[in-house]
Amino acid sequence: MIKVRLFRPGDAPRIAEIVQRCLREVNSRDYPQHVIDKMCAHFTAERFIELSANRLIYVAEGDGVVVGTVSRAGNKVYTMFVDPDFARRGIGRQLVQQVEVSAARDGYDRMETGASITAHGFYLKLGYTDVRTSETEFGFNYILRKTLPPAQAARPL
């Protein structure tokens, strides 16, 4: 059973490990090595602790082990990653739904995200639509948007 909860500073090393594994094992199919190295250097445990001051960071936990993460600032979804050993089990969907519910409760009527080439299809399956593409310091990115249904604001956690 997977439970989504708020980030605690002690989660930072495990989150950094998950992100770096995803980047090296999965995203590396779509991005050159120098981009992967730059992203891995960026997403450290210390960086997640810093980000927690400005973002709501959630973790997915199963049997006491953190297996995924996502964060939100305003109506923007950031850093959604699931341990490759736990991929394709609905954990990513559960994490994104958590930030959507949280944003709706805060009064937002839509979500936006910048998705990697690797994550693009995932967000499309969740109902996000392409707005544009962009080049970032971490390479090519899709900008996607999703309208939140009014009923979502009332959905329990």
Distance CA 14, CA 22 (A): 12
pLDDT per position in the chain (157 positions), as tens?
Answer: 899 999 999 999 999 999 999 999 999 999 999 999 999 999 999 999 999 999 999 999 999 999 999 999 999 999 999 999 999 999 999 999 999 999 999 999 999 999 999 999 999 999 999 999 988 878 789 999 999 976 444 444 4
What's the confidence (pLDDT) of residue 148?
A: 92
Whole-prediction pTM value? 0.89
Kind of pairing between the strands at 2-6 and 56-62: antiparallel
What's the confidence (pLDDT) of residue 156?
A: 44
Kind of pairing between the strands at 76-82 and 110-115: parallel
What's the confidence (pLDDT) of residue 138?
A: 81
Q: What are phi and psi of 54, to 5 degrees?
A: -120, -10
Kind of pairing between the strands at 110-115 and 139-147: antiparallel
Distance CA 157, CA 151 (A): 13
Cβ pair 127, 27 in contact under 8 A: no
Measured in whole angstroms, the distance separating CA 46 from the mean position of its chain's CA atoms is 17
What's the confidence (pLDDT) of residue 1?
A: 87
What's the confidence (pLDDT) of residue 82?
A: 97
Distance CA 118, CA 106 (A): 29
What's the confidence (pLDDT) of residue 137?
A: 78
